[in-house]
């Protein structure tokens, strides 16, 4: 969840457009706009309205559709609103009426007395629920900031990591020059959505598409290469760690085993690429991106190579080649 508390007023203040818009307005209980939304979920209070308050999920946003609206109108006409008062005795964050429905005056008065905000939207209940849960999934997602560079290479989100000065920004700049897109440089803010997707973006929307190139200074990628060279966010599907070449270290030469790294509880494939003069890192990373796309389609180059070698050995051709080579000496 975000470190900053999220209130009902924050929900109303969200600038959402198109299919994400909630179309909310406050029609009563403005004193309750400061209440915090702690549980990112929705509850339909049908049972609570009927008087059954055991296991009442009061900490959630309470959604009133046509059925609930018709029932509170029935209670109002009968002059029996004790269950509504019992409902508002709980510290609910807010109640929302869908379909543009307006509750009775007595319902609004009870909400005002309890200090609970009453919101209204013209959306259908199902549509509003889907949109609100999507908003909650984004706002309450676990998040952290990392030092690195995030690029989109052939549709694969690649997080470049490594010590300062190893060449992350220079490699990303060459990738942009080759037609790929920059998401964020230096500081990447990541968040986990739906428990299995890690999204990355710049820590600051005004600075995320600027790059620091040693010897050159700060450059604006969107101004130099156009808006087609940047994007706001991207799912992280591969982590590439750049490190100085260590002649004593044994690096993976076949790629039959996939190393994974943990980002906010999600396992992401990771590659360690040694850096030394003469190595063309952008081409290597492009190949890694395309290879990762092949893996997502079920094709593993290293495994196929390994199987072909085993078939070659089993066929007897390897033994024939070995003995024929011995005969020469």
Q: What are the backbone angles phi and psi of residue 151, rounded to the nearest 5°? A: -130, 155
* CA proximity to 119, closest of 94, 138, 148: 94
In this structure, are residues 168 and 225 in contact, taking their beta carbons and an 8 Å threshold? no
CA–CA separation, 294 vs 219, rounded Å?
Answer: 34
In this structure, are residues 230 and 209 in contact, taking their beta carbons and an 8 Å threshold? yes
Give the strands of the sheet with 233-235, arranged side by side.
143-147, 187-193, 197-202, 233-235
In this structure, are residues 281 and 171 in contact, taking their beta carbons and an 8 Å threshold? yes
Q: Which amino acids are annotated catalytic?
A: 147, 168, 186, 253
CA–CA separation, 110 vs 88, rounded Å?
Answer: 7
Q: Which residue has the tokens 């070995």?
A: 322
């Amino acid at each position: 969840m975000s470190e900053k508390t999220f209130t009902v007023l924050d929900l109303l203040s969200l600038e959402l457009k198109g299919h994400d818009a909630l179309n909310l307005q406050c029609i009563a209980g403005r004193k309750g706009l400061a209440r915090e939304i702690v549980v990112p979920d929705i509850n339909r209070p049908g049972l609570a309205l009927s008087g059954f308050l055991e296991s009442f999920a009061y900490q959630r946003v309470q959604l009133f559709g046509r059925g609930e609206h018709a029932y509170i109108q029935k209670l109002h006409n009968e002059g029996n609103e004790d269950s509504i008062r019992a409902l508002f005795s709980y510290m609910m964050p807010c109640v929302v009426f869908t379909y543009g429905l307006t509750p009775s005056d007595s319902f609004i008065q009870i909400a005002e007395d309890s200090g609970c905000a009453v919101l209204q939207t013209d959306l259908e209940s199902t549509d509003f629920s889907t949109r609100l849960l999507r908003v909650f999934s984004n706002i309450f997602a676990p998040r952290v900031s990392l030092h690195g560079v995030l690029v989109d290479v052939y549709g694969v989100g690649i997080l470049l990591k490594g010590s300062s000065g190893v060449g992350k920004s220079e490699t990303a700049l060459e990738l942009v020059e080759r037609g790929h897109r920059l998401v964020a440089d230096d500081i990447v803010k990541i968040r986990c959505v739906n428990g299995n997707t890690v999204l990355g973006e710049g820590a600051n929307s005004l600075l995320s598409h600027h790059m620091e190139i040693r010897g050159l200074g700060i450059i604006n990628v969107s101004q130099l290469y156009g808006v087609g060279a940047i994007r706001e966010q991207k799912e992280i599907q591969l982590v590439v760690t750049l490190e100085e070449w260590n002649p004593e270290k044994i690096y993976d030469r076949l790629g039959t085993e996939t190393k994974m790294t943990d980002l906010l509880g999600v396992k992401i494939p990771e590659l360690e690429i040694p850096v030394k003069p003469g190595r063309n890192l952008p081409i290597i990373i492009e190949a890694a991106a395309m290879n990762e796309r092949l893996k997502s389609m079920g094709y593993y180059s290293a495994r196929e190579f390994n199987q072909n070698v085993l078939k070659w050995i089993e066929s007897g051709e390897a033994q024939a080649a070995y003995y024929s080579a011995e005969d020469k000496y």
